[in-house]
Structure 1
């Protein structure tokens, strides 16, 4: 009778699994890590169902770069090969109050900046950002939302959503001045009325430099989350799209 599993075959299988794990760990720690978009906070630029790669070497390596839950432990005391992010970059970071959670937002405030939102208008160091309404989108749950083109002081432009029926007199559309501490960043979602971000100090707040994981680089797949929809509703207009 022929034995299907032999010691040699089991050893080869074990070695293959170890190699695959080490390769995946090194790839995700030093090169690119895949993520999926679970919420609407970055619409209209990133949608629920988008799968993207995050460039891990964009800003250097830190404890946050580690994969397979190792980023929950303080293994590295500092960031190595650190490169400063640019205002307007779309970045994945570890939530300051819970390192098991990853957030993706747009970098708005650099260390030392003063950030404020007044009646839905973003101000950076007392100067309003350039903003232009380019379209209106009807929605089932609101009176509609306007699509704006927002341009930061370094000429980075992108689209943002602002709901028409949002209350412009309350948070987060009318905020105090946030003074970004040294070695911290201030992030906001592009879907301004549907994003828990640095405006909410008790939930996200200022994000330490060491919590930055990497730069969102490109969407490699976009679909609904079910297996059937992944096959039947492949969104070719979004797949392999660069993120800006």
Structure 2
């Protein structure tokens, strides 16, 4: 099992730890501690009876022995003590991570210039609805993803992996990407040229534009040398709703699905290659960079 798979199963691991430590805490609080108390009371009663008899015979015992006996019998076993100590912490982390905010680390440059490699981000887990932990089944509807949102989701081809891209198409949208320019439902997306972007990791420059995606403005990158067509797309669900040619592609987004693209358009494997993201794969909306150890100025919100 590789590291990414372990991370993908972290929610399950956290759930199991919460369940196990919670059961142990519950049993100790409502049963085992009472058993220890009863055993201690019996031992202390026997001690007092013997002590009274010996006192009557003129032999006096130290009362400190009584306190030692009680403390010894009431002491929690190490495994119960540690479980009880960790349970509140694990349960709090599980609740926060499952229903409110979950941290992620950006592993690649596919979302440049919005998100850098090494950015530690927070993802809102409830804005797109409340979902059951581990099962990721939505139980309460709240909002739906909108064009322009930066969203974390389970990679459709391997749900143990988390991906992050920008929502470009919502259910019913017709998305056309021709000669590196987007058209949504027949309306061309506007682009404003910006100074070229220097990728410090690759030591290369890319064309930079401000894209206005139906009202959401954000920056994107293009590589002039990269081809306009999509090379070797996978066979994915609803593949018949997409068509590809030498200039790009066109897709109609089916119900309950979303079309995702990276802001680093020529360096992102996204819905152009592996298809649509179903609603059940959604993790949450990325909204804040809380740390980047290589550049503290990165901390803050982003589009």
Q: Determine if the TM-score, normalized by the shorter chain, exceeds 0.5.
A: yes
Residue among 185, 197, 209 paired with 1:137: 197
Residue in 2 that maps onto 1:147: 208
TM-score, length basis structure 2: 0.66
Secondary structure, counterpart of 1:87 in structure 2:
coil
Cα distance change on mapping 1:210 and 1:79 into 2, 3 Å: farther
Greater share of helix: 2
Unaligned runs of 5+ in 1: 1-5, 224-232
Cα distance change on mapping 1:182 and 1:51 into 2, 3 Å: same
Unaligned runs of 5+ in 2: 1-73, 232-245
Secondary structure, counterpart of 1:237 in structure 2:
helix
Cα deviation, residue 9, structure 1: 6.5
Cα deviation, residue 18, structure 1: 1.9
Could you say which structure has the larger radius of gyration?
2
Alignment of 1:70-219 (within 5 A): 70-71=134-135, 76=137, 78-138=138-198, 144-153=205-214, 155-168=215-228, 170-171=229-230, 174-201=247-274, 205-219=275-289
Q: Does the Cα contact within 8 Å between 1:143 and 1:163 map onto a contact in 2? A: no
| Equivalent-residue separation in structure 2 for 1:80 and 1:174 (angstroms) | 41
Residue among 8, 11, 15 paired with 2:84: 15
| Equivalent-residue separation in structure 1 for 2:173 and 2:264 (angstroms) | 22
TM-score, length basis structure 1: 0.81
Residue in 2 that maps onto 1:32: 101
| Equivalent-residue separation in structure 2 for 1:146 and 1:217 (angstroms) | 25
Cα distance change on mapping 1:144 and 1:111 into 2, 3 Å: same
| Equivalent-residue separation in structure 2 for 1:138 and 1:152 (angstroms) | 23
| Equivalent-residue separation in structure 2 for 1:157 and 1:94 (angstroms) | 25
Residue among 130, 148, 152 paired with 1:61: 130
| Equivalent-residue separation in structure 2 for 1:43 and 1:92 (angstroms) | 15
Decide which moves more: 31-40 or 171-180: 171-180
Cα distance change on mapping 1:55 and 1:27 into 2, 3 Å: same
Q: Does the Cα contact within 8 Å between 1:143 and 1:165 map onto a contact in 2? A: no
Q: Does the Cα contact within 8 Å between 1:92 and 1:215 map onto a contact in 2? A: yes
- How large is the RMSD of aligned CA atoms in angstroms? 2.4
Q: Does the Cα contact within 8 Å between 2:230 and 2:249 map onto a contact in 1? A: no
User: Number of matched residues?
Assistant: 216
